[in-house]
């Protein structure tokens, strides 16, 4: 079974893009005639979003305040579950994960990757042609912005194929998504670049062949040894776990390393680096693994307090355990005296991937928890990397023993020194090999983002603390390139409006860029995303703005933040500032085969700066 999702301004009976040509339907009919497969073409029609039979935005995923109060009420992911149940009951299907796939173009490509990641227990393989990169999903009133690149681990134990046309206008987003999938070993991933001049379905037979090969992969029906999953909904089921959220607010429930006897759970207001969602209660019910009405001792490590607590739970008649937890972060273990798990690496950085300064000796916060009910003995922890851009000292570290529930901080036992080049954040992966009881082995990895070299101060900077300013900003002109500078008046922040940081104020920071990515983007201003470890500063919001005329629904993410009321005057806060510039890159003489490029590429570029914010003056 292959479920196909069409793109914008289309319906299930065809995709009349461009000059009215059908994109996928004729090739799909020919393929089904000669192969033992059923293809279901989804209809993403949303009446309020279509101006006529074909012209409109499908799937009700545009979201955000501009979409109105009804945004997201047509939860197509729920309809997908109903459709799968219906098809399996009516047609002669093989009703298992191994033999079920999704595929789609553009917005439908987003739906293919999003739904297969939301329901990995239903879908074993997924493919996407030139997928739209980000849209809004989640329950009405609590929907969130969902960027595909932040959720590639939802496809652990799945097969994924990404196809981009060489002349596709949003190809940069596909290249970024490819990079993330390609370095996620839990995903069986392949990528195809088709020589074509526009946003289109190309090589459909080759992609359907990929799915037919997946249908032969029996391991797709195996239950995962462990899994990760992020979900924005108030109720969901994942691999037999039932999760519900009381007092649901916008944000994600994040599950990590879920396995029999152990799981990690926390929440984020936004991805990939949002703070926890406060004031919620998570109800997590396991599969029926624990026997009828048996009592277990539970170990609970709180990420908020850094302390371990114990309590008892009794399983249901069906053998399920139910946990009630806040969303601030927990590592939970079910103890029976027979566990043989290695020491658990605790979360390195609550915000996500650590941001590292180059050319300085650092000590990554490496802490390990014995999550078992027995003493762990003869432990060796070896930290290494295959990247030449990091030097590691102090490895390996030997530990004689670790008591049940004990946390050991090895941060100072290891040293790391990173180097980088110019440009954007630079990826580096570190690997841990944990040996315990002299022979049991366990391997895992974690990533860091290294700041570029050099990291200059911004050309000019404005602090908005409740005041209004009129700033020159750049806007693209249209699909054939070009752009212009226009004035934008903004009123942001909360404070005395004097343009200086003071204790208790909420601020945004704007920087001026002498030359943006577009040739016409000169001396324009940009609100920044802010990174810091300073204890006197808290990020208060992720601000998401449209990128001028972009057709992708991609947003520009920046920050507001608050200075703590007890911050001492004169305190200096070291910041890293990130802003994005973008361009419609029109190349009218570029050919792809015999065809000229149809529309401008939509490119973007991050720019990073360092800045010292002095509080109180």
The domain tally of the chain equals: 4
Instruction: Identify the domain containing residue 35 by its residue range.
Output: 2-221
Question: Can you give the pLDDT at residue 379?
Answer: 94
List of E strands, 83-226: 101-105, 125-129, 134-137, 144-147, 159-165, 188-194
User: Do 262 and 358 fall into the same domain?
Assistant: no
pTM: 0.95
Question: Can you give the pLDDT at residue 71?
Answer: 58
Q: Running DSSP on this structure, what letter comes out for residue 347?
A: P
* Higher local confidence (pLDDT), 143 or 102: 102
Distance of CA 473 to the CA centre of its chain: 28
* Burial (CB count <10 Å: 0-12, 13-18, 19+), residue 279: exposed
Distance of CA 485 to the CA centre of its chain: 32
pLDDT surpassing 60 at residue 69: no
Is residue 264 a contact partner of residue 330, using CB atoms and an 8 Å limit? yes
Question: Can you give the pLDDT at residue 295?
Answer: 97
The span from the CA of 316 to the CA of 103, in Å, is: 39
Tokens of 615: 């509080």
Of 278, 310, 336, the domain-final residue:
336
Of 452, 485, 514, the domain-final residue:
452
Average pLDDT score over the chain? 93
User: Do 139 and 277 fall into the same domain?
Assistant: no
pLDDT surpassing 70 at residue 617: no
User: Do 328 and 360 fall into the same domain?
Assistant: no
Least reliable range by pLDDT among 52-56, 79-83, 433-437, 607-611: 52-56
pLDDT surpassing 80 at residue 17: no
User: Do 173 and 113 fall into the same domain?
Assistant: yes
Of 206, 221, 236, the domain-final residue:
221
Question: Can you give the pLDDT at residue 19?
Answer: 54
Average pLDDT over residues 570-596: 93
Average pLDDT over residues 403-412: 97
What Rg do the C-alpha atoms of the chain give, in angstroms? 26
pLDDT surpassing 60 at residue 25: yes
Least reliable range by pLDDT among 157-161, 348-352, 422-426, 571-575: 348-352
User: Do 193 and 245 fall into the same domain?
Assistant: no
The span from the CA of 174 to the CA of 148, in Å, is: 10
User: Do 192 and 255 fall into the same domain?
Assistant: no
Average pLDDT over residues 141-170: 94
User: Do 213 and 235 fall into the same domain?
Assistant: no
Please give the share of the chain, as a percent, with pLDDT higher than 90. Answer: 80
Structure confidence by residue, pLDDT tens digits, 463-500: 999 999 999 999 988 888 899 999 999 999 999 999 99
Tokens of 386: 């295959």
* Higher local confidence (pLDDT), 142 or 20: 142
User: Do 424 and 505 fall into the same domain?
Assistant: no
Q: How many residues belong to the chain?
A: 617
Structure confidence by residue, pLDDT tens digits, 519-550: 999 999 999 999 999 999 999 999 998 887 77
Question: Can you give the pLDDT at residue 91?
Answer: 96
Average pLDDT over residues 584-606: 90
User: Do 217 and 229 fall into the same domain?
Assistant: no
Question: Can you give the pLDDT at residue 9?
Answer: 82
Q: How crowded is residue 179: how many other Cβ atoms within 10 Å of its Cβ?
A: 14
pLDDT surpassing 80 at residue 63: no
What is the three-class DSSP state of 534? coil
Question: Can you give the pLDDT at residue 479?
Answer: 82
pLDDT band at residue 551, thresholds of 50, 70 and 90? confident
User: Do 608 and 466 fall into the same domain?
Assistant: yes
* Higher local confidence (pLDDT), 464 or 590: 464
* Higher local confidence (pLDDT), 54 or 142: 142
Least reliable range by pLDDT among 52-61, 550-559, 583-592: 52-61
Cα distances (angstroms) measured from residue 570 to each of 239, 501, 537, 614: 52, 10, 14, 6
Q: Running DSSP on this structure, what letter comes out for residue 552?
A: S
Least reliable range by pLDDT among 84-98, 352-366, 425-439: 425-439
CATH number for the domain including 330? 2.60.40
User: Looking up tokens 């580096």, which residue turns up?
Assistant: 428
The span from the CA of 109 to the CA of 7, in Å, is: 7
Question: Can you give the pLDDT at residue 439?
Answer: 67
pLDDT surpassing 70 at residue 338: yes
User: Do 369 and 411 fall into the same domain?
Assistant: yes
User: Do 70 and 125 fall into the same domain?
Assistant: yes
pLDDT surpassing 90 at residue 66: no
Question: Can you give the pLDDT at residue 301?
Answer: 98
Average pLDDT over residues 287-307: 97
The span from the CA of 547 to the CA of 555, in Å, is: 6
pLDDT surpassing 80 at residue 22: no
CATH number for the domain including 137? 3.40.50.1820
Cα distances (angstroms) measured from residue 581 to each of 488, 599, 604, 606: 16, 19, 6, 7
Average pLDDT over residues 138-165: 94
CATH number for the domain including 411? 2.60.40.10
Question: Can you give the pLDDT at residue 70?
Answer: 60
Question: Can you give the pLDDT at residue 592?
Answer: 86
Cβ-based neighbours of 499, under 8 Å, separated by 6 or more = 462, 463, 464, 465, 467
Cβ-based neighbours of 245, under 8 Å, separated by 6 or more = 234, 235, 253, 280, 281, 282, 283, 327
Question: Can you give the pLDDT at residue 68?
Answer: 54
């Amino acid at each position: 079974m292959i479920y196909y999702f069409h793109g914008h301004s289309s319906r299930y009976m065809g995709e009349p893009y461009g000059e009215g040509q059908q994109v996928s339907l004729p090739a799909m009919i020919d393929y089904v005639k000669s192969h033992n497969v059923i293809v279901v073409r989804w209809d993403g029609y949303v009446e309020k979003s279509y101006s006529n039979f074909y012209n409109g935005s499908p799937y009700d995923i545009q979201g955000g305040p501009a979409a109105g109060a009804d945004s997201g009420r047509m939860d197509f992911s729920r309809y997908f579950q109903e459709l799968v149940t219906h098809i399996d009951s009516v047609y002669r299907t093989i009703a298992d994960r191994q033999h079920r796939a999704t595929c789609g173009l553009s917005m439908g490509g987003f739906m293919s990757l999003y739904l297969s990641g939301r329901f990995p227990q239903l879908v074993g393989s997924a493919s996407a042609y030139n997928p739209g990169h980000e849209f809004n999903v989640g329950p009405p009133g609590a929907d969130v912005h969902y960027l595909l690149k932040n959720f590639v681990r939802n496809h652990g134990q799945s097969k994924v194929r990404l196809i981009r046309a060489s002349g596709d206008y949003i190809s940069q987003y596909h290249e970024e998504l490819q990079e993330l999938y390609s370095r996620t070993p839990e995903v069986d991933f392949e990528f195809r670049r088709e020589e074509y001049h526009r946003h289109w379905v190309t090589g459909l037979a080759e992609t359907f062949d990929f799915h037919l090969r997946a249908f032969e992969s029996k391991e797709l029906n195996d239950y995962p040894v462990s899994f990760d999953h992020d979900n924005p909904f108030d109720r969901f089921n994942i691999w037999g776990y039932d999760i519900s959220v009381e007092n649901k607010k916008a944000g994600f429930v994040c599950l990590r390393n879920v396995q029999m006897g152990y799981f990690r759970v926390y929440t984020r207001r936004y991805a990939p680096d949002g703070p926890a969602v406060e004031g919620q209660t998570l109800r997590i019910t396991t599969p029926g693994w624990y026997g009828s009405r048996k009592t277990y001792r539970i170990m609970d490590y709180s990420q908020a307090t850094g302390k371990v607590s114990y309590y008892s739970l009794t399983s249901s008649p069906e053998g399920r355990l139910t946990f009630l937890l806040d969303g601030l972060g927990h590592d939970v273990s079910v103890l029976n005296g027979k566990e043989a798990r290695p020491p658990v690496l605790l979360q390195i950085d609550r915000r996500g991937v650590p941001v590292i300064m180059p050319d300085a000796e650092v000590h990554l916060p490496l802490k390990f928890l014995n999550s078992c009910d027995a003493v762990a003995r003869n432990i060796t922890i070896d930290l290494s990397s295959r990247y030449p851009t990091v030097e590691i000292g102090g490895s390996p570290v030997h530990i004689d023993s670790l008591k049940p529930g004990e946390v050991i901080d090895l941060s100072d036992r290891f040293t790391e020194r990173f180097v980088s080049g110019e440009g954007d954040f630079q990826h580096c992966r570190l690997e841990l090999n944990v040996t315990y009881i002299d022979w049991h082995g366990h391997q895992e990895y974690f990533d860091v983002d290294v700041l570029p070299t050099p990291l200059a101060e911004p050309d000019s900077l404005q602090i908005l603390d409740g005041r209004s300013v009129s700033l020159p900003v750049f806007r693209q002109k249209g699909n054939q390139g070009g752009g212009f500078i226009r004035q934008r008046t903004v009123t942001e922040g909360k404070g005395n409006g004097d343009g200086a940081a003071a204790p208790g104020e909420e601020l945004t920071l704007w920087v001026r860029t002498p030359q943006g990515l577009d040739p016409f983007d000169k001396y324009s201003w940009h609100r920044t995303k802010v990174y810091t470890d300073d204890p006197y500063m808290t990020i208060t919001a992720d601000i998401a703005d449209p990128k001028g005329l972009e057709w992708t629904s991609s947003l520009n993410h920046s920050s507001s933040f608050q200075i703590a009321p007890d911050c001492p005057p004169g305190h200096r806060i070291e910041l890293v500032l990130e802003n994005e510039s973008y361009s419609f890159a029109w190349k009218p003489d570029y050919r792809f085969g015999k065809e000229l490029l149809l529309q401008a590429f939509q490119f973007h570029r991050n720019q990073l700066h360092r800045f010292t914010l002095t509080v109180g003056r």
